[in-house]
Amino acid sequence: MDVSIDLLLDIVSKYNISVIPLIKKAYYFALEKHKDQTRESGEPYINHPLAVAIILATLKADVETICAGLLHDTLEDTNTSKEELIREFNINIANLVEGVTNITNLSLFAKDIQNNANLRKVLLSMSKDVRIIIIKLADRIHNMRTLEYKKDLNKQQKKSRETLKIYAPLAKQLGLYDIGVELEDRSFFYLDSEEYNQIAAMQKELLERFEEYKNVIIEALYNAFINNRLFSSISFKILGLYETYKELMNNLDIKNIHDLLKFVLIMDDIDSCYLALRYIHDLYKPYPSYFQDYIAQPKPNRYQSLHTTVFGPNENMIQMQIRTPFMEKITKYGITAYWHEDLENGSTLMQKAFDEQYPFYKSILNANKSAKNNSDFIQILEDDVLSEKIPVYNDEGKMIEVSKNITVIDYAYFVSPFFANHMAGVIVNGSFVDFSYEVKPYDKIRIISDVNSSGPNCEWLNIARTTLAKNSIKEYLKRKGQSLTRSPW
């Protein structure tokens, strides 16, 4: 990665030249503080915070976020105090730096205990300022890009596992899909380089065979659109290596992964998106089960697009993603698109949207309330909050995402622990189901509650799969003075 103060200033000057003096001040402050430090690669330590700041600048981060990126290790690794940061910069920058700083007063404890405490601290700090986790993601990206210099294989794999389970899913939840995929693929390489290389070779071979068809498809799409006075830009993408690996683990042949090969079509407006869909289906027959209208039903992270998978030339399965330029900006930048939409108030709008529109943070708060300790919190996070998701519809017809392979009991506790504790019945797709029913993608689920219901019992513990649901049931049974063990009678 090219790292220099000139590159950082060049990127920032293209969208907000007025903040250059403050960024220079933060850089030279960090340069002085880290002047005697080096990284494991042997390069000057300042290259790391500088790289973090450059990553943030490519997201069009505000000046406080970029300065915090430059300063993010000063509290932990130098003799800098928070009061000094406030004095030299401002309280917001100091708070951001403090938010991403590791807790160091746990040095007497095991590293795992300290790491869990640090993760919990950072994740809960999002309620105060979501920019903290965005800085942490930029920090993790650069750490993963330079992980080869950490010669201890165990440390490489430990950081990769944490990245795969925590940071990559977090990035995707925030709509930072490309960052999430990069974190997944880099982690995958260190965790199983042989499998990584095999899948990379399979993808390369498939792309080489597909190359002659790719241009034929692009030409056919352009001709259909131009003939009908539609204008579009068309690009081609391929599924991430780790995402491909997960699909192959589901016993799919690589040719049968419906979203492995993707064309992204950017249309002028929403009407043009739906018209484009019609002309695509005129050219190529669709797989009806793989059609999704995320324009009418956006994902919780604001993602919008039409998805259709079609039979392409030579029976290749090809996914078409159709969206407007604004939707493409959301796809590329996720929650940080607010920085692009409003330079002055973007961070305020981002925080407001995060508090009100991103339901996974509510799950983090519930995990914090339910967890017995830091280790339990991280376990709930991995198993429940950041696990693989499937889309379902609530009783109002709104799409929400829930963990894969859960039961309706888990769903009820995810939606509302109060209603779950008074659950009398569940209707899925218009029919009553047992509480052991496993939720499937695109189910429409309605919870029937009754304050006079008998409530959870020990049998529910045998059915529930998420840690959050199990902890909630145990807490309810304890309050009611019931045994947590199943009666032999």
Q: In which element (H, E) is residue 293 found?
A: strand 292-293
**Lookup result for tokens 């008998």:** 454
Overall residue count recorded for the chain in this entry: 489
Helix/strand number for the chain, H first, E second: 24, 10
Please state, in angstroms and as integers, the Cα–Cα distance from residue 291 to each residue in 94, 250, 254, 263, 308, following that order.
47, 20, 20, 14, 4
**Residues 133 and 122: beta-carbon distance below 8 Å:** yes
Burial class (CB in 10 A: 0-12, 13-18, 19+), 452: exposed
Residue 248 and residue 199 in contact, taking contact as beta carbons nearer than 8 Å: yes
Extract the tokens encoding 410. Answer: 């888990």
DSSP-assigned states of every residue in 161-224: HHIIIIIHHHHHHTT-HHHHHHHHHHHHHHH-HHHHHHHHHHHHHHHHHHHHHHHHHHHHHHHH
Q: Give me the active site residues, please.
A: 76-77
- Determine which helix (DSSP H) or strand (DSSP E) holds 233, and give its type and residue range: strand 232-238
